Amino acid sequence: MLSVRAGQRGQVGGLLHGHSGSGQSVLMEPYEAVEANNRISELREEEQREVARVLRELTEELRRHGESLTEAFEAVGLCDLVRAGARWRSICGRRPRNGTRKGGCASARGAIRCWPRRSRTGAQRWLPLDLEMDRERPVLLVSGPNMGGKSVVLKTVGLLTLMARAGLHVPAADGTDLPVTDGVYVDLGDEQSIEGDLSTFAGHLRNISLLWEKATRDSLVLLDELGGGTDPEDGAAMAMAVLEGMAERGALTIATTHMSALKLYAGEQPRMQNAAMEFDAVSLSPRFRLKVGEAGWSRAFDIARRIVSDPDFLTRAERFRSPLQLHLDRWLSEVDEEKRKLEAERQLSRKSRRSCARPSS
């Protein structure tokens, strides 16, 4: 291909293939090169036909050994799994107790890699998760502040359960009990889709419909922000139905929520229990620790004071809060203060007992 000035194209005999962007020159293929280029095109087509022939023959040869190749592929995958499991055990894994028995309880002792949190020195440290569930109360409702780690609890329990189900050791302390499940059903995150004609609520409802049909006594059910994405009253009613159904089946279920109605409901049911993510009311920061047996509160305004710089926004928002919610916040704040005082007195009492138990010199 030659680039020729547009005014001189008549001096070069050949085929015109195009113009330059400015129009000042043209691309010409001399007649002398046409036959050679045609031959090159023919050879390229022959090459492609030969490549296709060789690949076809090789594929036919492999098809004759398809069954043995499939078995070999599965064997290599199994060996890789065993090797990875052994290497993981040598790093930090522990064998879960009763990990091969269906229908057992679920407990996690010092499950690591839950919440990455920076220490004062800037180094990253991992806060452990301690959790205990049994078949007498298979439903656990986790509440607490935003950014407090509720969703991470779901992910940690789900991951540990799947690892135990695969025969792997788990990153947790000795005494961790993870039953083998017939399925892990999860509704976590936002699955809204314009293309799929799914709103946020419809996405959650589709997942709930699936687990409602499939979940059994031997299943693990993990539900994030249960009842959200729609009118709070309607959402709470559907959430109560889900929790009741899972409790009747005996399916181990962990759900997170900010709805006060659900917390009150779970506290009144014999087969359910509340759990709270702890919050430091002094520093206004989450502690990332799970406390089973009590309900948490969202602390939305406390967290907003750390993030929103303009006080006028929060002043306006406070005016729209209901008197009942304000009273509940004050009551919970007083409960937190009493808990801190009791904990301080308990620690002082322990120190005094240890001091009295030491032999005098």
DSSP-derived letter for residue 341 is H
Are 171 and 113 within 8 A, CB to CB? yes
Count of H-run helices and E-run strands, the chain: 9, 11
Are 190 and 156 within 8 A, CB to CB? no
pLDDT of 123: 53
Tally of residues, the chain: 361
Phi, psi of 249, rounded to the nearest 5 degrees: -75, -20
Mean of pLDDT values over 9-13: 65
Are 203 and 242 within 8 A, CB to CB? no
Confidence class for position 190, pLDDT limits 50, 70, 90: low
Per residue in 255-301, pLDDT (tens digit) is 999 888 898 899 889 999 999 888 776 666 677 788 888 877 777 77
Confidence class for position 359, pLDDT limits 50, 70, 90: low
pLDDT of 81: 84
Helices (H), the chain: 31-64, 66-91, 150-165, 200-214, 232-249, 260-268, 300-307, 311-319, 323-357
- Give CA 278 to chain center in angstroms: 21
Phi, psi of 293, rounded to the nearest 5 degrees: 110, -5
Give the side-chain half-sphere CA count within 13 A for 165: 18
Assess whether pLDDT exceeds 70 at residue 1: no
342 or 331, which is more confident? 342
Assess whether pLDDT exceeds 60 at residue 311: yes
Confidence class for position 32, pLDDT limits 50, 70, 90: confident
Mean of pLDDT values over 232-252: 92
101 or 280, which is more confident? 280
Identify which of 14-18, 139-143, 273-277 has the greatest average pLDDT. 139-143
Sign of CA dihedral 323, 298, 279, 147: negative
Distance CA 82, CA 237 (A): 46
Amino acid (one-letter) located at 88: W
Are 244 and 129 within 8 A, CB to CB? no
Residues of the chain with pLDDT > 90, as a percent, come to: 24
Q: Per CATH, which fold does 89-320 belong to?
A: Rossmann fold (3.40.50)
Are 246 and 253 within 8 A, CB to CB? yes
Sign of CA dihedral 91, 96, 100, 102: negative
Are 225 and 257 within 8 A, CB to CB? yes
228 or 262, which is more confident? 262
Instruction: Give domain limits for the chain.
Output: 2-64, 89-320
